[in-house]
Structure 1
Amino acid sequence: MDRAVGEIAWRPPRACEDYWSEFRHCKSFKNWFHYYYTYGTVPSCQQWKEDYHNCRDWEKHRGTEAKEALRRSEKIRVAEQRNFIPVWQLRQEPPRDWHVPLNQEKPQDS
């Protein structure tokens, strides 16, 4: 009985409409054009569609397979995001002269 309570309490990480919205954005001409320009290929949008269907399946039938598929997909998505190195180095503390007013009278280099 405790297992059933835990199963009902679990929610997908996103609303099902978010998966569908991501799929529609992925399939848009603007996104395809940008993706093709950037990477030289068209994006694969199938995972967003599968996640949407798994989310709907979970809402209707509480299917264990759908739940595990969503968990795997989100785990992979988060792992891929961690592979990107930040462009800017994050500060550990503010600069020493953070409180000094900006020098607005400084001549512009032309």
Structure 2
Amino acid sequence: METEVPVDQLESHPKFSWLVRPCERYKEEYSDCTSIKAKFHQYFINGETADCSQWKTDYNRCLDFRNKRDLKALEDVITSERLRRIKRLEGHHQNNVWEPRESPPDDWSKPIRKEYAADEEFSYIAVKCKELKEGKPSESVSTCSIS
């Protein structure tokens, strides 16, 4: 994982410093958030456009840390990242439909059922593994994706 604070220096920096991305990532997020395409998407999905100012603030604070070694700026970016993470996981933590497991089911590693075994032979992963073992790419599997 990329982080602004080098891994070997994490111990000497504030807790959760590993959350801080390289400064360029904040600039990219800001540019993406403010693009016409993103604004259209935000309005279509949420009925309003998003406030992208936090990405720019995080970028500026990240640069302050990088250039001036300002630990207050680093702590501000850490706080922002933690809040962003809490908001992203909000739905997961508010879930009241599923009960979280403490451990995997007892039979999690049992063999696949016979009716599915035939399909497994032609799965994308199986085909790619076969290609790698033979050392040749295959044209039989499409790698096309729509984004």
DSSP 3-state at the match of 1:84: helix
DSSP 3-state at the match of 1:43: coil
Q: Structure 1 CA distance, aligned partners of 2:27 and 2:19? A: 14
Letter in 2 for 1:6: S
Q: Structure 1 CA distance, aligned partners of 2:28 and 2:36? A: 14
Q: 2:115 aligns to what?
A: 101
Q: 1:20 aligns to what?
A: 27
Among candidates 49, 55, 66, match of residue 48 of structure 1: 55
State yes or no: 1:29 paired with 2:29: no
Which runs of at least 4 in structure 1 moved beyond 4 Å after TM superposition?
A: 89-94
Given that residues 35 and 43 in structure 1 are in contact (C-alpha distance below 8 angstroms), is that contact kept between their aligned partners in structure 2?
Answer: yes
Number of residues of Structure 1 aligned to a counterpart in Structure 2: 96
Q: Structure 2: which 5+ runs fail to align?
A: 1-10, 120-147
Q: 1:83 aligns to what?
A: 90
Q: 1:64 aligns to what?
A: 71
The CA deviation at 1:101 is 2.4
Q: Compute the TM-score of the two structures, normalised by the length of structure 1.
A: 0.71
DSSP 3-state at the match of 1:14: coil
Higher relative contact order (CA 8 A, sep 6+): 1
Q: 1:57 to 1:73 in 2, by over 3 A?
A: same
Please report the RMSD computed on the Cα atoms of aligned residues, expressed in angstroms: 3.0
Q: Structure 1: which 5+ runs fail to align?
A: 105-110
Q: Structure 2 CA distance, aligned partners of 1:74 and 1:48? A: 10
DSSP 3-state at the match of 2:43: helix
Deviates more, 1:46-55 or 1:76-85: 76-85
Among all aligned residue pairs of Structure 1 and Structure 2, give the percentage whose two residues are the same amino acid: 28
